[in-house]
Amino acid sequence: MEPGWVEHAIWWQVHPLGFVGAETESAGVEVTHRLGRIVDWLDYALEIGTSGIALGPVFASETHGYDTTDHLRIDPRLGDEADFAALVAAAHDRGLRVLLDGVFNHVGRRFAVPDRGWYRLDGNGEHVTFEGHPGLLALNHDEPAVADHVVEVMCHWLAAGADGWRLDAAYAVDPAFWARVLPRVRERFPDAYVVGEVIHGDYARIVAVSGMDAVTQYELWKAVWSAIDDGNLFELAHALKRHDDLLGTFVPLTFVGNHDVTRIASRIVDERHLPHALAVLFTVGGTPSIYYGDEQAFRGIKQERVGGDDAIRPEFPAAGPEALSPLGRPTLHLHQELVGLRRRHPWLHRARTTPLHLTNTQAVLESEADGQRLLLALNLDDSPLTQDLPGVGDVLAGAAHLDGMRAHVPPHGWAVLA
């Protein structure tokens, strides 16, 4: 079961190497103290309303951070252990939790432990690579020394102040491996949060077998932008039904953007409907995560090529938040409004969501838990949404006109009602 503090968690996810404008390769780079640039943005994370920082890879690696060379050393392009300690201390001083990215499925070719028994080898004795990437060598998770290493690494950084781990490419690792690792970690750190990156598969089974607290909710992510773009809210309703089933077992990590996917502001073709996607994220069950820059409506297209992640992992201004374009402020204010609503209704963490009204382009969704409820009205249509909603008396976010029991939401509008 997840730690109690996670009920109130809303993450601001940062890809550190991109955020600080680090070199694309670490070879020959001396220690450069850049983690302090993230410290300079912690007050901004508080202004958004988030309660934690989810960091991408910070450990020594060859290029993008996911080709690790030493799990026990901070990447020299970011700084050193003292810089990391200062970042954690500054976050905790502000009440922000810190989530680390653990890349334990594969390593870079210059990994610090070159013992061949640590690696998966094919029938010819050649290294098995992760999804065909020649620079990513798959670890042998049947090797006890690998499990011992992962336990050591997780405990080392939890002892250094981290509050939890995101397990990268957890879908590629036998869940039984995590079942051997995580109990040993939790013996020392029972309050640590562990969420696995799982793109596809049986989410509930993976959580049950592995002992992880949660996995990433890619199915809901896809349904949110796809249903909105296609004008097919039945797709969203179907995904929410499956999402509710998961909530009976665990609370997924929910998102509309991360370091591996096209920006939500680029995904949503009609920019009038970007608020609709965000409203879904913050009114359904889950542990929400905001990818840095999404709160400013940053654009960026994920491309399947070398350097194809650059557009979605940009550098943030060294001068701080004041250097951001004013064009992003409306989306920032929208995030603040919705995050504030979420923080005032922590029961939404485990809320189940049911459609009360549903067409291709209009929906009223009821989220309910602990005897409380909110309604989210979504209108993708050129016509107003008019619906009788007994018991509704307040507009908490968005725009709607209430006439007795009847709610009116303007064309292409949305509203959260109570």
Roughly what angle, to the nearest 10 degrees, separates helices 233-247 and 218-230? 160
State the average pLDDT over residues 281-304: 98
Does the pLDDT value for residue 91 go beyond 90? Answer: yes
CATH of the domain at 365: 2.60.40.1180
Q: Are residues 334 and 275 in contact, defined by beta-carbon separation less than 8 angstroms?
A: yes
State the average pLDDT over residues 132-145: 96
Does the pLDDT value for residue 306 go beyond 90? Answer: no
Q: Considering 319, 350, 381, which residue would you say is the last residue of a domain?
A: 350
Does the pLDDT value for residue 148 go beyond 90? Answer: yes
Q: Is the dihedral of CA 121, 126, 131, 133 positive or negative?
A: positive
Adjacent-strand bridge partners of 101:
166
pLDDT given at position 281: 98
User: Residues 316, 372: one domain?
Assistant: no
pTM over 0.95: yes
Number of domains within the chain: 2
Confidence tier at 113 by pLDDT (50, 70, 90): confident
Using only the alpha carbons of the chain, give its radius of gyration: 22
pLDDT given at position 372: 98
Does the pLDDT value for residue 260 go beyond 90? Answer: yes
User: Residues 157, 283: one domain?
Assistant: yes
Q: Considering 304, 333, 350, which residue would you say is the last residue of a domain?
A: 350
User: Residues 120, 186: one domain?
Assistant: yes
CATH of the domain at 189: 3.20.20.80
State the average pLDDT over residues 397-418: 97
- How far apart, in whole angstroms, are the C-alpha atoms of residue 83 and residue 77? 11
State the average pLDDT over residues 131-140: 95
Does the pLDDT value for residue 149 go beyond 90? Answer: yes
Chain centroid offset of residue 348 CA: 17
Token pair, residue 289, equals 């995560």
- When the pLDDT of each residue in the chain is averaged and rounded to a whole number, the result is 97
Q: What percent of the chain is predicted at pLDDT more than 90?
A: 97
State the average pLDDT over residues 393-415: 97
What b/e string do you get for 261-287 counting C-beta neighbours within 10 Å, with b at 16 or more? bbbbbbbbeeeebbbbbbbbbbbbbbb
Q: Are residues 140 and 107 in contact, defined by beta-carbon separation less than 8 angstroms?
A: no
Written as one string, the DSSP assignment of 70-126 is EEEEE-TTT--HHHHHHHHHHHHHTT-EEEEEE--SEE-TT-S---GGGB-B-TTSP
pLDDT given at position 285: 98
- How far apart, in whole angstroms, are the C-alpha atoms of residue 65 and residue 52? 21
pLDDT given at position 315: 98
340-353 confidence digits (pLDDT tens): 999 999 999 999 99
User: Residues 189, 338: one domain?
Assistant: yes
User: Residues 248, 384: one domain?
Assistant: no
Confidence tier at 114 by pLDDT (50, 70, 90): confident
178-236 confidence digits (pLDDT tens): 999 999 999 999 999 999 999 999 999 999 999 999 999 999 999 999 999 999 999 99
User: Residues 26, 131: one domain?
Assistant: yes
Q: Are residues 321 and 41 in contact, defined by beta-carbon separation less than 8 angstroms?
A: yes
Adjacent-strand bridge partners of 138:
106
Q: Is the dihedral of CA 111, 114, 119, 122 positive or negative?
A: positive
Other beta carbons less than 10 A from residue 202's beta carbon = 11
Q: Are residues 302 and 267 in contact, defined by beta-carbon separation less than 8 angstroms?
A: no
User: Residues 85, 180: one domain?
Assistant: yes
pLDDT given at position 1: 85
Domain that holds residue 409: 355-417
> CA distances (Å), 143 to each of 14, 139, 156, in order?
32, 9, 20
